Structure 1
Amino acid sequence: MAASTSRSGGGHRNQAVWPGYMARYEPLARLGAGMNGEVFKAWDTKEKRIVAVKRLSGTGTTGGDDLIFSGLQEVWRECRCLRTCAGIPSVVKLLDKVVPKVNSDDSFLIMEYAGRLNLRGYMQRRAHRRRRFSEAEVCRIMKELMEGVNSVHGTGIMHLDIRPENVILDDGTEDKTERRPKNKKGAIQDGELKEDDIVYKIGGFGISQKKERGPKQPEVTIATAYSAPELLLHSCEYDERVDTWGLGCLMADLLSGTGMPTFGPDDSEEKIMSKVFRVVDPKCKEIKDWAGYSGIAAEWKSKLPRQNKSKLGRIAAGSKTKLLGDPLRRRFPFWRLSSAGFEVLSGLLESNPAKRLTAAEALDKPWFQ
């Protein structure tokens, strides 16, 4: 289950206050809060195992966390998506659900406990210790995640929230059958992960949905630094490639080595768009060539970043100050990322959805072979 940080800054509570119908599960630690619920590490007193419990916000929520309300319809949708993906090894498994009799109360999803750290925390830990990811490491991580997302898409599900907070790391060193687990033999005692044994699992299916027939899909109103350009522009013409955009952002994060979002932090949609197009489509030509662009509301088209005419004039004049080459390539030069790797990165971070790589297409690229 993904453990992410509450956007409101209200995620300060460490103790779970659960209703009586959750007595079976004993809370051990609060892992974090995402957009639509808190996540706790808990002990299943019946099955005698460690689990992750996601509390989905009903009107019974207390404590000031800015969580999206999740009625029974949203709870059932998330359960359906997780059950549809149940056979995929790289997706966190849904074990059970606890739905109250009163719709205004909180609901709970019982998930497998997939690990003590998410990818954001791991990247920040590496950045703090100045241990950048090598291209080989990035390739291995991306291949594992790409295969997982490709399998999710094979079921007809779109995740819609691919980001490091929703990727959980399991290095196999925690004993999940003990209430107060001890590290298994061979684990590194200072809390560091056994990096060669890490398995990456995808969670955070809170806004996921089944793909509708035809080009039109329900509007996604939640914007993050990992949202595809078509979602930032509030288009309803999108498909699975919104997830491969998120994977491209994640790949850029791994390569940058800062531990921070490439197009973040999450801010207004306009600021995120400005950062995105400055790097991947400075003249906004590719997105405007997309067939779905005509259906975008004028209000959102007007929020696309405008060109700096003086800079364009210097470039046209052949001034020595002109910026050479692709801005994405300048950010990740040859010494940092090979041509084969850049082919994947640029294919994922394509602002025109029709030209963006699908997960299956990306996996066929030489970089992954």
Structure 2
Amino acid sequence: MRVVVKVGSSSLSSADGGLQLSSLHSLVDALAAVRERGDEVVLVSSGAIATGLAPLTLPTRPRDLATQQAAASVGQGLLMARYTERFARHDLVVGQVLLTVDDVVRRGHYRNAYRTLARLLDLGVVPVVNENDTVATQEIRFGDNDRLAALVAHLVHADRLVLLSDVDGLYDGNPSRPGARLLRHVHGEADLEDVDIAAPGASRVGTGGMVTKVEAARIATGAGIPVVLTSAANVNLALNGGREVGTTFHPTGRRRPTRLLWLAHATTGKGTLTLDAGAVRALTEGRASLLPAGVTGCAGTFDAGDPVDLVDEAGTAVARGLVAYDSTEVPKMLGRSTRDLAVELGPEYERELVHRDDLVVLV
């Protein structure tokens, strides 16, 4: 069995915001037990920014991006050193893997990410994955590693994803209020209709909340991977599977290309292309590529390879894809055939605006 475990900053941090070594040690010991019984494990760990607070004498998580990145730069090395030391007590080697959106959306990058993780597991290494906070922008703003963990679970063909939090599962309301009920099983969207997950987490160092965890569960279960959500204190129970713990999200779909999962759930379009009715049908029903002839409008500023929203004439997003041209090039291509474009502008224009392999339907 191969399991991906994600732990949040709040589960690794002390009351003053620094790294809580006892919590980290308990986590590592539980993961080592998984390895000792012959299973593979990938750890997706938040905590770099939180770990960097104390050395920089920062009382709380900074709000500005530059200071967040400085804290991550200081904290990531310290965090990995602690993981390396504790796993070594179990004769296990760890390997650091830092990812950004590009590493899992752009075709060449995500193949490299897959090869690296696969080889680490083949060599018996425990990969420790985190967002590359020192250079990332969108990841820090939109925050936690929950969705990244779901993507990594799909990327490494995991059998299960375990999300460790500071609460023991998903409740139908604020768990601090009387009457809130723990949901033991979620089989689909119908089970979430009356669940209030809008309240942010109470942690001073984490950025996630129940919203990102439920979204991560949607991504993973939509790709056929069961998810267990519980507290870090329950990590042994969650990994041993001896009895029911936390909330189990059951699979709702089947696997599909990893980067398309991320494209659908964890990116926002940097621009829009408006499609005529024929193009909408070709994409949503025929699973075709998007050609310039079916595009009637272009908005936003984007570069080739960026995600863009593909909208119908009413402005409803029907798909998202990685565009093959810069926004400065697209207007002169609208409504024209690729053959005519090649004759007038050169052979490099005889291709799709968005290839079907780089496109995910949203409706």
TM-score (norm 2): 0.25
**TM-score, structure 1 normalization:** 0.24
Q: Which has the higher helix share?
A: 2
Q: In proportion to residue count, which structure has more strand?
A: 2
